[in-house]
């Protein structure tokens, strides 16, 4: 909603013929600054999600690898705690990114 309003404002500023060029460029600069890259660049979001998924898969892979390397069923497998910490943090961060944000009622 905010991004659409910024786009509309930018279009309106460009269409006003009696606006001095210096004022027009200043206003367009302010509008462009209001658009942050985190809101407009979807590649950043995709890279973060991909990195978290990669961390989860790497933790799962190495956990299974360590488990399969244990050939003696009588010995207890000591799993490094770092896998549990990284995997849990990545799952929590991924859930936080993918959960819908609560919308505010403007009133």
Contacts of 44 (CB under 8 A, 6+ apart): 37, 38
C-alpha dihedral, 83 to 89 to 94 to 99, nearest 10°: 140
| Segment holding 89, helix H or strand E | helix 81-98
Both 31 and 50 in one domain: the answer is: no
Residue 105 lies in a domain: no
Containing domain of residue 18, as a range?
2-36
**What pLDDT digit, counting tens, does each position of 79-95 carry?**
788 888 999 999 999 99
Both 51 and 83 in one domain: the answer is: yes
d(CA 56, CA 59): 5
> How many angstroms separate the Cα of 4 from the Cα of each of 9, 19, 31, 38, 57?
9, 22, 12, 15, 37
**What pLDDT digit, counting tens, does each position of 9-60 carry?**
777 777 777 778 888 788 777 777 766 666 667 788 889 899 999 999 999 9
């Amino acid at each position: 909603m905010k991004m659409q309003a910024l786009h509309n404002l930018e279009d309106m500023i460009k269409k006003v013929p009696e606006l001095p060029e210096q004022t027009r460029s200043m206003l367009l600069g302010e509008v462009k600054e209001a658009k942050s890259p985190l809101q407009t660049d979807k590649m950043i979001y995709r890279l973060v999600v991909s990195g978290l998924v990669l961390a989860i898969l790497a933790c799962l892979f190495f956990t299974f690898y360590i488990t399969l390397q244990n050939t003696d069923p009588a010995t207890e497998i000591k799993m490094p705690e770092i896998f549990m910490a990284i995997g849990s943090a990545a799952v929590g961060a991924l859930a936080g990114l993918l959960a819908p944000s609560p919308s505010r009622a403007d009133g």
